[in-house]
Amino acid sequence: MRLVDYQRPSALRRSRAARPARTFRQSRRGSRGRQAGADPFQQRDVQNLRTGPRPAFVRAALADRHHGLMDAGSYSVAFPRRWWYPVARSSELGRRPLAVTLMDSPLVVFRGARGAPAVLLDRCEHRNYPLSLGRVTGDGGLECGYHGWTYDGGGHCVRVPGLRGGRRQVDRGRHIPSHATVEQDGIVWAWGEPDAEPMRRPFALPAVDGRGAGEVLFRRDLDSTLRASLENALDVPHTAFLHRGIFRGGLPHAITAVRRPVDGGIEVRYLGEPVGLGPLRLPGDSGRTFDHWDRFFLPSIAQIEYAVDGWFRLVNTIVHLPMSPFRTRAWFVVRFESRLPASVVRAVVRQHGRRILRQDADALARQTERTRSLGGERYASTELDLLGPAIWHLLRRAERAEQLDGGEATPATVRERTIVFEA
């Protein structure tokens, strides 16, 4: 895996001779360990790890890059800005402003003029008071709770109480950063780069209609990096152990996994997976198998789809908000259709979903605690790890492309690959 390689601001660059000495712990796996035809993402999954505290100029570079402090050593943390990120569910926005965090940057979300959502930096320009502690006025402005300065959805100050009769004033010089906002599929999306024009539409959640259709929603805050959360959501091998008895855990079966690139991400299709729940299988050894796909879409979407032709289809779309380098919020939007009544399927999904989320959240928290206690990550991957290294490759390439400041970047690619494993 290729780990975080932050670019220093030009003002902080030093000559090689003047740079502080670095300490590296060398990996045993080098170029001699590579095999012909091996997956390049797996070969990079064990790299030199940096130990010890970062020099001050590197800490400053990290703070400048992510608008917040990052006590990150060698961690797979990437934040491509020119993408849409979910900041809230539509139902969460009421009459009060909502405080959220996007990669250590405090934001405030509220419904402005005509009920349209808006996202601003959560800091009043006047005296740095959190705007999320204010209120939404009758005309859709966001009023600071400290001195009453009021902002519109674009971040412009439109009212300063006490100025010449208290008249409404618009001063384009008084402005706080704002993020382009779209409300779609019951989710409020914010463009990651402030005061910028979006380049694309947000990810569209798939519609699942038909007999017995329904939806279940979960929200969970995870103590993990965005990359770790995405990999966990799409990782098949761990389910036979961490979720034994829920997904898998019976007699192993040979399953073929086919990985291929898709627009904006990567997809793995699984063939030959018997229909069942944990050790339970269909009676009579019918030979019926799932249609199963796992997908990742930049920058923070994981999607799992299961279907049995003529019986049911379930799509779990997981949208992630990276709140900080080691804290990620995830909304699990589970949509389904089935021959069974929607109320029955909904009850099963809720029961098993809560249990699975508790197990995954605990595993991710323990993983994060251990990597931070040891000063960084160290991954050793096999051919079973089809998605984790590839997700990191796409995230990092997306971030680096933005560092070129308008230059052209080679499109990130993921090789097609087919493996057979037992689960």
Q: Quick one: 219 and 337 in the same domain?
A: yes
Q: How far apart are alpha carbons 46 and 164 in whole angstroms?
A: 65
Would residue 203 count as lying in a domain?
Answer: no
Would residue 2 count as lying in a domain?
Answer: no
Q: How many CA atoms lie within 13 A of 304 on its CB side?
A: 14
Contact status, residue 266 vs residue 413, Cβ threshold 8 Å: no
User: Which CATH number do you get for residue 377?
Assistant: 3.90.380.10
Q: Quick one: 184 and 332 in the same domain?
A: no
In total, how many domains does the chain have? 3
Q: How far apart are alpha carbons 341 and 347 in whole angstroms?
A: 10
One-letter identity of residue 403: Q
Query: Side by side, which strands form the sheet with 105-111?
Result: 98-102, 105-111, 117-121, 178-179
User: Which CATH number do you get for residue 95?
Assistant: 2.102.10.10
- pLDDT at residue 64 in the model: 40
Q: Quick one: 31 and 90 in the same domain?
A: no
Q: How far apart are alpha carbons 299 and 412 in whole angstroms?
A: 13
Q: How far apart are alpha carbons 224 and 95 in whole angstroms?
A: 31
Q: Quick one: 339 and 372 in the same domain?
A: yes
- pLDDT at residue 312 in the model: 86
Both structure tokens of 422: 């037992």
Q: How far apart are alpha carbons 259 and 333 in whole angstroms?
A: 24
- pLDDT at residue 406 in the model: 56
Would residue 209 count as lying in a domain?
Answer: no
Q: How far apart are alpha carbons 9 and 378 in whole angstroms?
A: 27
Q: Quick one: 123 and 265 in the same domain?
A: no
Q: Quick one: 271 and 336 in the same domain?
A: yes
Domain housing 131: 84-191
One-letter identity of residue 258: V
Q: Quick one: 98 and 62 in the same domain?
A: no
The torsion angles phi and psi of 155, rounded to 5 degrees, stand at: 90, 5
Question: Alpha-carbon dihedral of residues 118, 124, 128, 132, nearest 10 degrees?
Answer: -50
Q: Quick one: 222 and 105 in the same domain?
A: no
Would residue 318 count as lying in a domain?
Answer: yes
Report which of 81, 84, 103, 80 is spatially closest to residue 397, judged by C-alpha positions. 80
Last residue of a domain, one of 176, 191, 206: 191
Q: Quick one: 402 and 279 in the same domain?
A: yes
Q: Quick one: 342 and 406 in the same domain?
A: yes
Would residue 241 count as lying in a domain?
Answer: yes
Angle CA(99)–CA(104)–CA(106) in degrees, nearest 5?
30
Would residue 367 count as lying in a domain?
Answer: yes
- Distances in whole angstroms, Cα of residue 129 to Cα of each of 66, 106, 108, 123, 133: 21, 12, 12, 6, 8
- pLDDT at residue 319 in the model: 98
Q: How far apart are alpha carbons 85 and 98 in whole angstroms?
A: 16
CB crowding 108-127: b at 16 or more within 10 Å, else e: bbbbbeeeebbbbbbbbbee
Classified as helix, coil or strand, 6 is coil
Q: Quick one: 369 and 260 in the same domain?
A: yes
- pLDDT at residue 180 in the model: 97
Does an H or E element contain 214, and which?
strand 214-222
> Where are the alpha helices (H) located in 135-248, listed in sequence order?
226-234
Task: Kindly give the confidence (pLDDT) of every residue in the chain, 423 residues in length, as a single tens digit, with 9 standing for 90 and above.
Answer: 333 333 333 333 333 333 333 332 333 333 334 444 445 444 444 333 333 444 443 344 444 443 333 334 489 999 999 999 999 999 999 889 999 999 999 999 999 988 999 999 999 999 999 999 999 999 999 999 999 999 999 999 999 988 865 555 556 678 999 999 999 999 999 999 999 999 999 999 999 988 899 999 999 999 999 999 999 999 988 887 888 777 665 677 788 999 999 999 999 999 988 776 544 445 545 677 889 999 999 999 999 999 988 788 999 999 999 999 999 999 999 999 998 899 998 998 998 899 999 999 999 999 999 999 999 998 888 899 999 999 999 999 999 989 876 544 555 678 899 999 887
Would residue 201 count as lying in a domain?
Answer: no
Would residue 204 count as lying in a domain?
Answer: no
- pLDDT at residue 290 in the model: 82
Who contacts 71 (Cβ-Cβ below 8 Å, separation ≥6)? none
Q: Quick one: 181 and 218 in the same domain?
A: no
Angle CA(367)–CA(193)–CA(74) in degrees, nearest 5?
30
